[in-house]
Every structure is written in C-alpha cells, then in structure tokens.
Amino acid sequence: MCGIWALFGSDECLSVQCLSAMKIAHRGPDAFRFENVNGFTNCCFGFHRLAVVDQLYGMQPIRVKKFPYLWLCYNGEIYNFKQLQKQFGFDFQTLVDGEVILHLYNRGGIEQTASMLDGVFAFILLDTANRKVFLARDTYGVRPLFKVLTDDGFLGVCSEAKGLINLKHSTSLCSKVEPFLPGHYEVLDLKPSGKVASVELVKFHSCKDEPLHVACDTVEALPSAGFDLETVKSNIRVLFENAVRKRLMAHRRIGCLLSGGLDSSLVAAVLLKLMKDININYPLQTFAIGMENSPDLLAARKVAAHIGSEHHEVILNTEEGIQAIEEVIFSLETYDITTIRASIGMYLVSKYIRKKTDSVVIFSGEGSDELTQGYIYFHKAPSPEEAAEESERLLKELYLFDVLRADRTTAAHGLELRVPFLDHRFTSYYLSLPAELRTPKNGIEKYLLRLSFEDSNLLPKEILWRPKEAFSDGIASVKKSWFSILQDYIDQQVDDLLLEKAAEKYPFNPPKTKESYYYRQIFEKHYSGRSSWLPHYWMPRWVKATDPSARTLKHYKSATQE
C-alpha cells in the first residue's frame, strides 16, 4: 500500500505543486520521493512508500536498466509476479512485484499487461520512447486512483482526490477531479510540451469473465467441473484458500480484522491455518472493535478462541466515535451515510493497530456481501436472476462504497489491506454458478458459502451460521444500534429549518435526514462542489427503506425477536 502522484504538463512551478502530493503522505509513512522526468521539465512523479515487499529496492518510480525509457509508479500487489517471470523468462533487476509490469508491457503492450496481472493495483506507466502515458486500475478498484485532465492537456493523477483538488493551472482552478474507473486502462499521447491527449479508455476485465491470468495461477485447473453441489462446494473451498494463500506475500507482519461475522471469521481461520502450513513464526493478531458486550466483540472473542489467534479488543465509546466523524469524512472523500457509519469503527481499530502493534498487512472480509448475496434485502429479491444482477451491480460499485471505506480507513494509518473475497479467480467462479444456487435459502443469506465450509471445522457452527450483522450495527449493543446513537447526537446539531431547505442548498443527492445533512456539511467543508464523486447513496433494494441500516428491515427485526 502506497501513495502515488504524478503531473504531466504543469504550467505552475513543480516545487509548489508537489505540496499537493504531501496530502497523501499517510499512505506511505516509510519513505518519500519526488522525481522529475528527464526531458520534460513540467512532468514529475511523487511517491509515498509503505515498505511491504523488497524493502531495499522498492522505491518508485521504478526504472530498470533494460528499459531506461519506462517509468512506473504503482500502488498494489501483483500476486502472480513470480509465475509470470517463470512463464515468460523475465530477467528481474529487483525483488519488487511491480517490476513485472515493465516486462509485460515491453513484451505485449498495455492490454496484455493489465489483463495478466493477478492482484490489486493502480498504476501510472510512462513510455518516453513512444511518448505514451498509461493509467490502469484493478477490476474492483481495491486500490484507489483519481485523475484530473484539463482541456489544454494538463494531467494530474493521485491515489486520493485530496492530492489533486488544490493543484494550480493557468486555465482552470477547479477542473473536474474524478475517480478512475476500475477494470479499465487509459492510453494518452504525451506531447513534446509535456501535455497529454487521451486516446482511448478500455475496459480490460469484467467481474464475470474468467481472468486471462488463470494460466499463471498456483491452482491451474479446478479438480472437477460441473454444478453438482459437492463439486461446487469443493471448488469454492479450493479457490478461497488459494485466494488467501497468494495474499501471504509480505515482508511485514500480517494481521486480520475480525468482527465475528462469517466473512472476517472465514478469512481469519483460513489465514491462520495457512500461516501455520508455511511456518510463519509469529502468532496471527486479530482485531475487533465494539462497545462493551456488543454482538461483534462477543462473536469475535469466540472465533479467536477457536482458531487460536492473539486477539485484541478495542472498546469503542460513544464520544470517541462522534469525535472521529470529521476526520473520517476527510479521509473517505464521501458523504454516503452507511459508508461513514461503518468507517468510524474501522478507522479507530486501524488507529489502534498502527499505534499499539507491529501488524501492517491487514486481511479483511470486504466483498463477500456483494459477491455471495449477504445483505438482508436479498431475501426480498423477486427472482434468482434479479438477485444475480444486483450482486453484479454491487460488485461494480464497490469502489464507491465498501472498498473505498476499507482502503481509506486503513491507509489513513499507514496499513495495507488485503481482501481475498475479491480475488479475480474466486469471484468469476462464484458468479459463473447458476443463479438459483447463489440465493438465500431457508431464511439464511450466503447459504452456499456457509454450506461449503460446514464440514471444515474451521469455525464454530454458531459463527458459520451467524446471521448478517452490519459492521456499523454489530459494534453497538443489541438494545441501541450505532446509527441510533449517531442520530441522537446529530439531532441536536442540525436545525429543522436547515433540513427543510436542504434541497435548495444541495440540489444533487439532497440530504433527507439530519444525519445525512450533517455528513454533507462536513464533506462540503473539505471538498466543496465535489458532490458528484458519489453518484447515489447506498440503499437496500426491493424494500421501502429510508435508512441503509439492516436493523430497520423487517427480516432483521423478526430474526432478532425470535
């Protein structure tokens, strides 16, 4: 996990512009480099490093003797770099996984490069010999990337939008900063002036398509084909374990977030098992956050005892959570209601991990709810086919919601997140299964995933079959949810009259509640006029919901009252 930043065709002094690069210093606390591009005095790269792989030669932009005309700045991990090196006979100069991007590009161009990378990534690749700039981002946008491109060809690229919004340019002080779309690459021509012109934006991978890099996977072929239940369950276990295994690539200590829900518990259990298999000689640290005796703390404690992790509990108090709201919104760069609610706990547990432990590479369960139809409202889907379509929609929008939350809350404290449920191979296989197989069954969401691990003894049965609990709700008590606590506080902060006039003040995505108004005010304070970064609020479908919390849905209420 790092922070990348680059400018092409700047009219302003680069030493002034580079102050913007310091806005993402939290992403790479270990080292910083600012480097001009030879022959282009108005082009430069900025890089904040978190040293996880090849701590000696991992500074960026990466340049190797074999390709002196290539400059690479990337954020991410390429899990199949050794397999690619072996398959194509690449001669590496460093131990950095990202070096494979240079070799792939030299061998087959940008299309093959982006398609063959098994991992999470956002990169800027400059080819001065052919005067091209390339931008690319992984399928689900696990690693963030923003860009700004003015009409006269000034390009700014950064891991977070906050590193671009204050850039100065002669023709425009407020150009449109926007997220770079996941699963895409862009080709831009580099002019002698250092300015650029966009040539094409190409989608190189869709979540349903089996990725091209399967040929370079550690599990080359699945043991068996077909959709009979035992085969499917076996394949899910094999691919998920493979997804966790490949993410063990690190020279820093590995830890795991553990809410006690199905997803994080499965990740933690498989992770600990594999760490033992490869003789990692330190205990796995797991981390839970919640109020005293909250459902998440109690469940996480049970999981940690079962798997034998070194467990840490962070007790959340109401005042601390409320005080963190503004810094959380600044980190997130969004005003989405459920994203902010869920981020507060994750932000504070990440803060604890950074201050109190030496774990840096943090595993988590993001992506499972979207992939395996884990949200409560999936019980209301009109048909399996519509549920499958909704699952794909959620996956495509992850970069706006849960993946954004997971990246920013951990990156704010210099941690690197790893999310095995969003493994390209695992997700494409799961989405290839018949729609009927993937729906909730017997009133239980994620039924197929749970069933697949039922006989594994990885988790206690009551955890494996624990009903869905939203992270923002599970950290509070059963009697009073976290969103109710937040609303009670915010009710005193926002006047009724302000809410009545909210649509006039904020015509795009107007706030409908005092809570959403409060968040929007803070967002506009830091990112005025940037409300389009959030196309719409996250809300359940097929139900008449006015709040994104699962606790407001009938299915949740009936389940907890039984």
In DSSP terms, 123 is beta-bridged to 74, 136
CB neighbours of 455 closer than 8 A, spacing ≥ 6?
none
How far, in Å, CA of 256 to CA of 258, rounded?
Answer: 6
How far, in Å, CA of 84 to CA of 104, rounded?
Answer: 9
Cα dihedral 78, 80, 86, 89 sign: negative
According to the 3-state scheme, what is the secondary structure of 206-237? CCCCCCHHHHHCCCCCCCCCCCCHHHHHHHHH
How far, in Å, CA of 247 to CA of 253, rounded?
Answer: 13
In DSSP terms, 126 is beta-bridged to 71, 133
Helices (H), 225-362: 229-246, 262-277, 295-307, 318-323, 325-332, 337-356
Residue 2 annotated in active site: yes
- Is 11 labelled a binding residue? no
- Is 289 labelled a binding residue? yes
- Phi and psi torsions of 55, nearest 5°: -70, -20
- Kind of pairing between the strands at 132-137 and 184-190: antiparallel
How far, in Å, CA of 387 to CA of 46, rounded?
Answer: 43
Q: Of 2, 44, 73, 216, which one is the catalytic site residue?
A: 2
How far, in Å, CA of 140 to CA of 549, rounded?
Answer: 24
How far, in Å, CA of 456 to CA of 434, rounded?
Answer: 24
CB neighbours of 280 closer than 8 A, spacing ≥ 6?
248, 254
- Is 257 labelled a binding residue? yes
Four-point Cα dihedral 423, 426, 431, 437, nearest 10 = -140
- Is 368 labelled a binding residue? no
CB neighbours of 399 closer than 8 A, spacing ≥ 6?
140, 141, 144, 179, 182
Three-state SS for 290?
strand
Long-range contacts of 347-350 (CB under 8 A, 24+ apart): 347/409, 347/412, 347/413, 348/289, 348/314, 348/316, 348/320, 348/321, 348/324, 349/257, 349/287, 349/288, 349/289, 349/314, 350/409, 350/410, 350/412, 350/413, 350/415
Please state the residue numbers annotated as binding site.
Answer: 97, 257, 289, 364-365
Please state the residue numbers annotated as binding site for ATP.
Answer: 257, 289, 364-365
Please state the residue numbers annotated as binding site for L-glutamine.
Answer: 97
Q: Which residues are catalytic?
A: 2
